[in-house]
Amino acid sequence: MRISSFNNDVSGKNKFSVSRRIAVCGILTTAALMLSYIEILIPPFIMPIPGFKLGLANIVTVYAVFCISDIDGAAISFCRILISSLLFGGVMSFLFSVSGAAMSFLVILLFKYILKGRFSWIGVSVASATAHNIGQLISAIFTVGIGVASYLPWLILAAVISGIFTGIILCFLMKKSFFKSINRELHKTG
């Protein structure tokens, strides 16, 4: 499937126009928001580890940073957290999520620029999920106390499970010709 009109700017140049950029970011933010809503719908008691979450919104963040741009990925992630905290959470959940997302973002950048070409989507999402959980743990240490650090092994285990899950979804999506063509278009325009 070709998306021939995807890159046809008004000016006719091969440029990722501002309005198109806003539109793409908006769509991805909405997708991320829906994914975090779906996560809330999953009852917590079927989770094997307390506090475990699938981190489905991580799919969107990883995709946006790799395929669109760093700053857009950060913006999508931040907007998603802001809206989801306003709708479903509170101040605490906002602070926790921001510290997690910041760590996760830095690790995704590490994989994008320094460790590129070695890992698959699975490795990237496992690393970013782990970084997210560690970021949350750091803010928990500041708010609750050093005792929370003993929760680290469970958080790493949860991150590995959820990272493999979201990584498989990303691998599956990126094999689709739809995303392949979008990625090519985005890549050309930089």
Q: Which residues bind another protein (CB under 8 A)?
A: 36, 40, 50-51, 53, 66-67, 81, 84-85, 88-90, 92-94, 96-97, 100, 111, 115-124, 126-127, 130, 136, 140, 144-154, 156-157, 159-160, 164, 167, 170-171, 174-175, 180, 183-184, 187-188
* Least Cβ distance, residue 38 to another protein (angstroms): 13
* Distance (Å, whole) CA 164 – CA 133: 15
Pick 23 or 144: Cβ nearer another protein: 144
Q: From the CB of 2, what's the least distance to another protein, in Å?
A: 8
Q: How far is the CB of 168 from another protein (least distance, A)?
A: 9
Q: Which is nearer to another protein, 74 or 135 (CB)?
A: 135
Nearer to another protein, 22 or 38 (CB): 38
Contact present, 61 and 105 (Cβ < 8 Å): yes
Residue 117 CB neighbours (<10 A): 5
CB-nearer residue toward another protein: 71 or 144: 144
Work out how close the CB of 11 gets to another protein at its nearest, in angstroms, rounded to a whole number.
15
Distance separating alpha carbons of residues 102 and 117, to the nearest angstrom: 23
The number of C-alpha atoms within 13 Å of 109 and in the hemisphere containing its C-beta is 12
12 or 22: CB nearest another protein: 12
CB of 124 to another protein, least distance (A): 5
CA distance 143 to 140: 5
Q: Cα separation of 66 and 89, whole Å?
A: 28
- C-alpha closest to that of 57 among 24, 30, 85: 30
34: tokens are 């829906």
